[in-house]
Amino acid sequence: MTDELGAQVPRPVTRPRRLRTTQGLRSLVAETRLAPEQLVLPMFVREGATEPRPISTMPGVVQHTRDSLLKAAHEAVDLGLGGVMLFGIPQDKDALGSGATAPSGILNVAITDVVAEVGDALTVMSDLCLDEFTDHGHCGVLTPDGRVDNDRTLEVYAEMALAQADAGVEMVGPSGMMDGQVAAIRGALDGAGHTDVAILAYSAKYASSFYGPFREAVDSSLQGDRRTYQQDPANAREGVREVLLDIAEGADIVMVKPALGYLDVVRRVRDAVDVPVAAYNVSGEYSMVEAAAENGWIDRERAILEVLTSIRRAGADVVLTYWALEAARLLSA
């Protein structure tokens, strides 16, 4: 091989492209695997709903009725998902989030419904937080001057954990970012004999702008913001510190939320711990891709798999994503 002046140009000895020539070869040497059993589907169930209600800011996602929730859970089983994460939307809210601890509360009855229907085939998880149930929209109870009272909130979280365990949940997901929440929940569960109920701790949860569509999904009543208890997006080391604290308190799985803007934190956490690591591909990340695809700017299906693969590549063992069902279908195809 010669250049334009006739001089000999050495041929490359190493050719990485050899391993990219066919889909079979690319699959053979792929460093990261994405499989349905690594995916968890978050689902919303609305008290009193008679038909699924579309969420305008999250195309393709709905607030379920109790019946449609079961149908979606069966679909999750059929497609081989690893689990579902349940969120409840009550008809009535109050300052203490009483619907979260009531046995007849929508989230607790939904847990019982889903566990009875598919509990042997699918890991049933539940969000353990007060924000969907409080009229002020915060993740805890408030002091008279409007601040979130960390330690009073821990008492309510313990009650909520027992209500969910009594309902049959297999794994609780404390997401409120209260100091000591995992220890309070683990102590309550173990003290009541629920030693087999696992804890998926939202350990590094950031005060992110990417939660916007989720607020519509749960009919949020939030007044103000959550920056006094969720983490500052500027901090990565702090995320690892929060994770280590939760493990010391009894967390079985730790999670980083959001995922895409915090892939570096996912990697730091994965390198720091020896328990499974989850990441939550949140509503804003979902809706950005959906909006871009709707405008014809990106290839939607390729983007979905690329996003989820990036989260796995960063080190997440488990990915919570609203695309779980669709991704499973794409992977099987």
d(CA 235, CA 265): 9
**Residue tagged active-site, from 257, 268, 270, 312:** 257
Strands 53-54 and 62-64: what pairing? antiparallel
d(CA 323, CA 103): 30
d(CA 221, CA 134): 7
Q: Give catalytic status of residue 93 as yes or no.
A: no
3-state secondary structure the chain: CECCCCCECCCCCCCHHHHHCCHHHHHHCCCCCCCHHHEEEEEEEECCCCCCEECCCCCCCEEECHHHHHHHHHHHHHCCCCEEEEEEECCCCECCCHHHCCCCCHHHHHHHHHHHHHCCCCEEEEEECCCCCECCCCCCCECCCCCECHHHHHHHHHHHHHHHHHHCCCEEEECCCCCCHHHHHHHHHHHCCCCCCEEEEEEEEECCHHHHHHHHHCCCCCCCCCCCCCECCCCCHHHHHHHHHHHHHCCCEEEEECCHHHHHHHHHHHHHCCCCEEEEECHHHHHHHHHHHHCCCCCHHHHHHHHHHHHHHHCCCEEEECCHHHHHHHHHC
**Residue tagged active-site, from 93, 136, 205, 226:** 205
The half-sphere exposure of 301 on its side-chain side, counting CA atoms within 13 A, is 7
**135-154 as b/e, with b when 16 or more CB fall inside 10 Å?**
ebbbbbbbeeeeebbbeebb
Which residues participate in catalysis according to the annotation? Answer: 205, 257
